[in-house]
């Protein structure tokens, strides 16, 4: 479920969402990339859409506790992030795949995922089994002992997803996870998303509207740091109305229509 939450409602609520933002403001350099965002998310797959510069990556990085809020409040798994110094406990419950992730080229896939499990302070007795499960879930079991430097771009992306899920996170953040994946791999990835969303709060930031329409239960559309649409993928398609476009899906037309109407209102 994804919905805007007022400050008054938040004050009265005792239920702890997986991710909750109230008037959230986050800077990216000198720019306020996220500006007054009210949002609540729980178990399920949530698609984050928006044009370049909309604030998607900044929002994801703030939820990953990489960036600190400049204003408003951000609460993760019932714990407020603002002003916290020690976030290690929270980070152990988060999985994060950034747009670009670092790795040692000479590591094998297994060594890479094991290393990330160690950084997440997973118990050593649980690590081998968790690593194997993560590698199998992303379809890299047959490449587990290959060096990272030998992998294609799509395989590297899958290795990145494996490290993000190795700790069975309660919050999973994926920034452009299908970059470099071929059509068949994207279909497999959508199936994995649906599986993960049964007991995890998954937030997927992407430019691919069709990935969101096919795999996500909810859609969040941002523009210029603000929320301009939230709801089910069917609502995104319905926003297209009578608009037609050769080769364009209803979801893609709805995405464009919502942005156009928002910008006309703001002008």
Third-level CATH fold of 2-93+169-266: Rossmann fold (3.40.50)
List Cβ neighbours of 245 (8 Å cut-off, separation of 6 or more): 252, 253
| pLDDT(11) > 50 | no
Mean pLDDT (whole number) for 238-267: 81
User: What's the pLDDT band for 55 if we cut at 50, 70, 90?
Assistant: very high
Q: Helix, strand, or coil here: 160?
A: helix
Q: Helix, strand, or coil here: 26?
A: strand
pLDDT tens digits along 173-186: 999 888 878 888 88
Mean pLDDT (whole number) for 246-254: 79
Higher pLDDT, 211 or 104: 104
Count CB atoms within 10 A of the CB of residue 238. 14
Residue 25's pLDDT is 96
Residue 184's pLDDT is 87
Rounded CA Rg of the chain: 19
Residue 242's pLDDT is 58
Question: Which range, of 20-34, 69-83, 244-258, averages the lowest pLDDT?
Answer: 244-258
d(CA 207, CA 209): 6
Q: What is the DSSP string of 50-64?
A: --TTSSHHHHHHHHT
Higher pLDDT, 208 or 36: 36
d(CA 18, CA 107): 33
Residue 1's pLDDT is 46
Domain residue ranges in the chain: 2-93+169-266, 95-168
Residue 150, token pair as written in the block: 């030998």
User: What's the pLDDT band for 7 if we cut at 50, 70, 90?
Assistant: low
Give me the phi and psi of 133, to 5 degrees please. Answer: -65, -40
Mean pLDDT (whole number) for 48-71: 95
Residue 243's pLDDT is 65
Residue 170's pLDDT is 96
């Amino acid at each position: 479920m994804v919905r805007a939450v007022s400050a008054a409602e938040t004050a009265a609520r005792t239920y702890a969402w997986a991710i909750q933002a109230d008037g959230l403001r986050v800077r990216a350099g000198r720019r306020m990339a996220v500006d007054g965002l009210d949002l609540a998310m729980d178990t399920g797959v949530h698609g984050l859409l928006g044009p370049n510069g909309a604030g998607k990556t900044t929002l994801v990085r703030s939820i990953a506790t990489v960036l600190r809020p400049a204003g408003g409040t951000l609460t993760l798994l019932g714990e407020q992030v603002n002003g916290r110094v020690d976030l290690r406990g929270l980070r152990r419950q988060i999985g994060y795949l950034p747009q670009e992730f670092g790795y040692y080229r000479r590591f094998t896939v297994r060594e890479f995922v094991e290393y990330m499990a160690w950084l997440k302070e997973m118990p050593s007795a649980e690590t081998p089994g968790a690593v194997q499960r993560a590698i199998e879930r992303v379809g890299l079991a047959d490449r587990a002992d290959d060096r990272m430097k030998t992998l294609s771009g799509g395989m590297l992306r899958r290795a990145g997803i494996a490290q993000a899920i190795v700790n069975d996170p309660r919050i999973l953040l994926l920034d452009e996870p299908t970059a470099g994946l071929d059509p068949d791999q994207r279909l497999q990835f959508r199936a994995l998303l649906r599986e993960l969303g049964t007991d995890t709060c998954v937030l997927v930031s992407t430019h691919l509207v069709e990935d969101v329409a096919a795999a996500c239960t909810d859609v969040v559309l941002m523009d210029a740091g603000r929320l301009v649409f939230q709801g089910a993928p069917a609502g995104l398609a319905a926003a297209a109305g009578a608009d037609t476009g050769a080769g364009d899906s209803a979801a893609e037309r709805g995405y464009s229509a919502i942005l156009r109407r928002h910008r006309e209102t703001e002008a």
